[in-house]
Amino acid sequence: MSTAAGTRRRLGLAGGTIGFGFGAVIDTVVFHLTFQTHHLLSGYYDPYSLDGLRTNVMFDGLFLVATLGITLVGLGLLWRLVNGTAERFSTRYLLGAIVVGAGVFNVYDGIVDHYVLDLHNVVHGTEAWNPPWILVSVLLLVLGLGLLRTADGPVLTTGRGQSE
């Protein structure tokens, strides 16, 4: 039988994994494919040439598939936790974990992809938008941590209606 702390960790891991993957999916769909402000490897392949754009879009698509896979792993972890249980879980805690996961992805992307690996910038050809990206990413992370901190435990009630 799992403890409340173990259940809380498992719910946090599932939500964090969902958030990390989904944060990357949103980034890819919105910024890489829709607005095309940057592509995954636009620091290496010129996004203004046809061959460079094709290469970038191909890597964006591969990245999208990988991050959808991460999101599905998180959903699988969540399904495994809640399937067959009569326990009710804290929506705020799950949402907080998802927002933390998205914040972790964005902070990682902003620091590692933009500065350490120089894969791309937030906007092609300028580093001016990188610091605001990191700031917004940290704020997202803080928001998620705030939700986690103010949430009830992941187990609210048993199937018999008794509080734990």
User: What does each of the 164 residues of the chain score in pLDDT, given as a tens digit?
Assistant: 468 888 899 999 999 999 999 999 999 999 999 999 999 999 999 999 999 999 999 999 999 999 999 999 999 999 999 997 888 899 999 999 999 999 999 999 999 999 999 999 999 989 999 999 999 999 999 999 999 999 986 665 444 444 44
Cβ contacts of 103 within 8 Å, gap of 6 or more: 19, 23, 137, 138, 140, 141, 142, 143, 144
> Which class for 136: exposed (0-12), middle (13-18), buried (19 or more C-beta within 10 A)?
middle
Q: How high is the pLDDT of residue 162?
A: 45
Q: How many CB atoms lie within 10 A of CB 161?
A: 8
List helix spans (H) across the chain.
4-27, 50-82, 91-108, 130-150
Q: How high is the pLDDT of residue 152?
A: 80
Q: What is the pTM of this model?
A: 0.89
> What is the three-class DSSP state of 71?
helix
Can you name the residues that pair with 89 across neighbouring β-strands? 155
The answer to whether 137 and 110 have CB atoms below 8 angstroms apart is yes
Alpha-carbon distance 68 to 24, whole Å? 8
Alpha-carbon distance 43 to 125, whole Å? 9
Q: How high is the pLDDT of residue 45?
A: 96
Q: How high is the pLDDT of residue 158?
A: 47
Residue 101 Ramachandran class (φ > 0 left, ψ -120 to 50 alpha, else beta): alpha
